[in-house]
Structure 1
């Protein structure tokens, strides 16, 4: 899912110019000014974690020392021979493992995890959103891709959308941004091909959680409360918010960390789906309720739009990066941006530049900037506009674009390539005893979604329609029935024709950037599955061409955010190059991964989870 961009409505984090970065560096621990800071009560670091504070920040303190592995690793990967799962919530991961132990396939486990997360992590997922997946089929010895993405309402015209636009951009809240939810159809389609357990059994854990309730983890509680505050603040932009508050914040604020949350409406909706399958949602009582709700509030989504929803099996695209085959979905996603970035980076010796060095990060960011120019110019629903994908991911094109990157200075200006004439989110992975591996991602897009919850259904509708362009002639321009540009992308990598990693990094435009950093960390710097994630990340925002995600007023070359773990000398060197460094804002993505290994003739799974989230990985 896109990073929690509801934070954008709150006071923005300060931008750090090169001069300010140098000033901050002079005040780093060990500098001449350290004593002055320590003598100032106003600037002294906190001595304890004050009650009610979200974070306890001591930048001069690092994690304890691990006896083995990377010094910055949070923990060790988990290992198993029969199956593995990783998700953003421990209960969802446990549910996936339980499904595998009962004889379910990796797809059964993935669908069960996603259904659980729709209740457990409503800030990132739910059946009001879309879903994409890649599945390694051990029988066919091939990777399959599925796009579960819904189109815009047929009754909503371009003229109406333009009349509701703000500064040429579709608003992120309310019915104008709602597109048909594709997630449930994707679950059903995956289960029909690869499921082993009965459909109702796969949904049973989610129903039990939603009915009985569970304690809410810290991060999810924080984001629910933040989203609800935004909905309240912007209630004039949303046709109806009473249902959202009734579902997620009956006290008017939202659950506190550790408090028990229930969603009986969602449990009833899941029970109808467990009994009636996908048709209960798209052509039955749930569709009728959705239709009546949008008519009542003056929205455009109709039962006929839901009836037209069908997921598509798609062939993933691939590229080779230093011997690793990296796979990505095309369709209307940003998946091939990862391939474009890696193709350019292959022309530079990142290992020689050094792990977490300024030159290494600079090269990666420049590759991102070039790829994202193409992303904004060409990516769209292929049913409406044929993007020149083969050209965009070709080695020849990457070689030409790589020549534009200078190791010691920022490229400016930066533009998309000229095509030939013929031309945040929740992520989870699962693997089973038969060798099936699933990489799956699902999202409501920005924050929790549009703010709209249909009467008595217990889930929020996505606001994915915000990412349509309103620019005449643009491939991604709004049209009725068209699928909007998608940020959610599952990741997958293979070695020598065998599956290697089912992985993903959640977080809107961070996703290709995060996937690239994972591959670079593993292949160029030798990090293992967990430390590759725990390594501090960078996140670049802004380009000359935007998909509607960038905040206004960014510097000319964009804003480069660095996590606090990036070395101070690296931060300083990047500022000296001219990069505007932004404070960490929590938008660095969240990762899950299952890796396929061999110990002689025995398959061994290693699973890792993101320390930036509330989840975990388990194996058995």
Structure 2
């Protein structure tokens, strides 16, 4: 075996791994008048542009990006995970939503899960029982079929990713760091670890990683559609490796998902009004996928902030200094209230009622907003605060006809379970860790059930006109990122890039502690003023300032904004998060 030679970067930057980014950001907003792709990996963005050039629309290109990200960023996403999609049709002004989340095995009730040795309130992240049926493959097929242009076929859409996987890609810096952190987990997860390693180790920045087995999996999906993944060789490999680890998934669980297909659902929405809205009285309507996704959290927080301002508890947030203690206090408390509800109510609607409309009613939002105290932290953070993970990919694609596809694909935490089906080149997700192992809880583990899902794409409209196609990946940071980025644009007039570059907060970003309670910290990103940090502490917030690589807890967003051009021509403005390796590419 050839010896791995030191990279030149190792000598130039001997302490590179200690730093997240050398500069806050030097990126400009990208402008374009045809199609545009914003994602966390440049090569994946190029894959999307290639499909737009072939005549595909935003939905076709989004699937090309999703598949390419599996090659360039497998530490976050892949065909072994789940996906959600929102699509804005520029002709009809309709928004369509796809829920591509998979279910638990049919043969695993809670009692059997306990008998297998799983204790506590959560399935361990690397347990084979954390692997739910992967929904991404079905979502990719159905997105092209239901929302695509008809000008390109699935084989065309997957071709760029297949080429990348076969030829290999140079690994980018942030991905290399994430891969290194997961190396031990990959080696311990299954006998097939070498499919996700380079010469037995995590690839380093600049090293070329080829994934021929993943290319083969993609080819089978392209040729046979859903049956190429949920039946036959790939399905058998999934079942075999999970049973080797003590799992109970059967071929019928996978085949059932292919038959059910991706669920087309009615998106949920909230129209945000605030005092002094200079754009008019129509407000901005934010659309999210409904539960079992957590998009409801973002809408609840927006509604609570609306009522805080309308009642006079908080003055117009436009008039408060950005990221001041007063500004952050209002947002933090709104999210604590929102999470207190959604951490209980968000669950698989096929297994119980989720009262979305009641939670978003003006009467209920007023009651929740009335709990806010402007001068101190009052909400019980031991109930409903979120937990942390940032291993997801979100991306946005728009086309020259004005359509937009807001798409998100995820393994959940890192490489998911890191379990690799033999000869398939991907890892299986650990979405099952999103269940609560508490009888009577709406999100309690059960057979053939979908868990609480963190991944959420978003669209924002003014009236029936597209305003933003955007999202912020990162576990329970996602709804918090949705609102912070949106308000940066609405209240501050920030460009998409500036809205992403601005320092963020994240509440309760840790895992449950030894007492079973949820981390009560308010994490603040470097760049927020020291006097703001101190004032929040005086108000009763358990504040912790995060620097360096720890900043990944604040998520990684992508934003494409539709601008109002006086001539009536289409103009897009795009931003890509500096906390990722990605970029925005505009179509020529």
Normalising by the residue count of structure 1, what TM-score does the alignment of the two structures yield?
A: 0.84
1:583 Cα shift? Answer: 3.5
Aligned equivalent of 1:597: 563
Aligned equivalent of 1:334: 294
Give the Cα separation in 1 of the matches to 2:205 and 2:37.
24
Match of 1:288 among 224, 227, 236: 236
1:496 Cα shift? Answer: 1.9
Aligned equivalent of 1:485: 452
Normalising by the residue count of structure 2, what TM-score does the alignment of the two structures yield?
A: 0.89
The aligned runs of 1:32-47 (5 Å cut-off) are none
SS of equivalent residue, structure 1 residue 406 = coil
Unmatched 5+ stretches in structure 2: 1-10, 274-282, 310-315, 385-390
Match of 1:78 among 24, 27, 30: 30
CA contact (8 A) 2:560 2:572 kept: yes
Give the Cα separation in 1 of the matches to 2:110 and 2:481.
34
Is 1:606 aligned to 2:573, yes or no?
Answer: yes
1:250 Cα shift? Answer: 4.1
Match of 2:470 among 494, 497, 503: 503
Is 1:242 aligned to 2:205, yes or no?
Answer: no
Q: Which moved more, 1:167-176 or 1:185-194?
A: 167-176
1:344 Cα shift? Answer: 0.8
Is 1:172 aligned to 2:125, yes or no?
Answer: yes
Aligned equivalent of 1:124: 76
Q: What do residues 60-85 of structure 1 show as CA deviations (whole Å, max 9, x unaligned)?
A: xx95xxxxxxxx76322111111000
Give the Cα separation in 2 of the matches to 1:394 and 1:267.
48
Q: What do residues 272-309 of structure 1 show as CA deviations (whole Å, max 9, x unaligned)?
A: 11111121111233223323333344321221111111
Aligned equivalent of 2:224: 276
Is 1:217 aligned to 2:177, yes or no?
Answer: no
CA contact (8 A) 1:470 1:477 kept: yes
Is 1:187 aligned to 2:129, yes or no?
Answer: no
Give the Cα separation in 2 of the matches to 1:471 and 1:555.
14
CA contact (8 A) 2:123 2:433 kept: yes
Change (3 A) 1:413 1:288: closer
Aligned equivalent of 2:184: 229
CA contact (8 A) 1:203 1:270 kept: yes
Match of 2:269 among 304, 318, 343: 318
Number of aligned residues: 544
Aligned equivalent of 2:371: 404
Aligned equivalent of 2:313: none
CA contact (8 A) 1:449 1:462 kept: yes
Q: Which moved more, 1:378-387 or 1:407-416?
A: 407-416
The aligned runs of 1:143-182 (5 Å cut-off) are 143-163=95-115, 164-182=117-135
Q: What do residues 213-251 of structure 1 show as CA deviations (whole Å, max 9, x unaligned)?
A: 01100100110110123445xx4xx4xx231x2112243
1:430 Cα shift? Answer: 0.3
Aligned equivalent of 1:513: 480
Give the Cα separation in 2 of the matches to 1:333 and 1:183.
15
Q: What do residues 496-516 of structure 1 show as CA deviations (whole Å, max 9, x unaligned)?
A: 211111100000000001101
Q: What do residues 13-38 of structure 1 show as CA deviations (whole Å, max 9, x unaligned)?
A: xxxxxxxxxxxxxxxxxxxxxxxxxx
Give the Cα separation in 2 of the matches to 1:230 and 1:295.
18
1:579 Cα shift? Answer: 1.5
Give the Cα separation in 2 of the matches to 1:589 and 1:56.
17
CA contact (8 A) 1:428 1:504 kept: yes
1:524 Cα shift? Answer: 1.7
Give the Cα separation in 2 of the matches to 1:316 and 1:366.
26
Is 1:351 aligned to 2:318, yes or no?
Answer: yes
Give the Cα separation in 2 of the matches to 1:49 and 1:579.
41
Give the Cα separation in 1 of the matches to 2:426 and 2:203.
16
Match of 1:308 among 237, 246, 256: 256
1:456 Cα shift? Answer: 0.4
Give the Cα separation in 1 of the matches to 2:564 and 2:536.
40
CA contact (8 A) 1:49 1:56 kept: no
1:56 Cα shift? Answer: 4.0
Is 1:88 aligned to 2:40, yes or no?
Answer: yes
SS of equivalent residue, structure 2 residue 554 = coil
Change (3 A) 1:56 1:469: closer
SS of equivalent residue, structure 1 residue 618 = strand
Give the Cα separation in 2 of the matches to 1:563 and 1:514.
13
SS of equivalent residue, structure 1 residue 518 = helix
Aligned equivalent of 1:445: 412
Give the Cα separation in 2 of the matches to 1:115 and 1:293.
23
Give the Cα separation in 2 of the matches to 1:282 and 1:316.
27
Q: CA RMSD in A?
A: 2.1
1:566 Cα shift? Answer: 0.5
The aligned runs of 1:460-609 (5 Å cut-off) are 460-541=427-508, 549-552=511-514, 558-584=520-546, 585-586=550-551, 587-599=553-565, 600-609=567-576
1:169 Cα shift? Answer: 2.1
Give the Cα separation in 1 of the matches to 2:84 and 2:475.
14
Give the Cα separation in 2 of the matches to 1:490 and 1:312.
15
Q: What do residues 561-582 of structure 1 show as CA deviations (whole Å, max 9, x unaligned)?
A: 1111111111111122122222
Give the Cα separation in 2 of the matches to 1:458 and 1:210.
10
Change (3 A) 1:552 1:561: farther
CA contact (8 A) 2:126 2:418 kept: yes
Change (3 A) 1:553 1:570: farther
Unmatched 5+ stretches in structure 1: 1-47, 64-71, 418-423, 543-547
Give the Cα separation in 2 of the matches to 1:556 and 1:480.
26
1:438 Cα shift? Answer: 0.3
1:517 Cα shift? Answer: 0.3
CA contact (8 A) 1:491 1:503 kept: yes
Aligned equivalent of 1:265: 213
Give the Cα separation in 1 of the matches to 2:272 and 2:26.
27
SS of equivalent residue, structure 1 residue 479 = coil
CA contact (8 A) 2:468 2:560 kept: yes
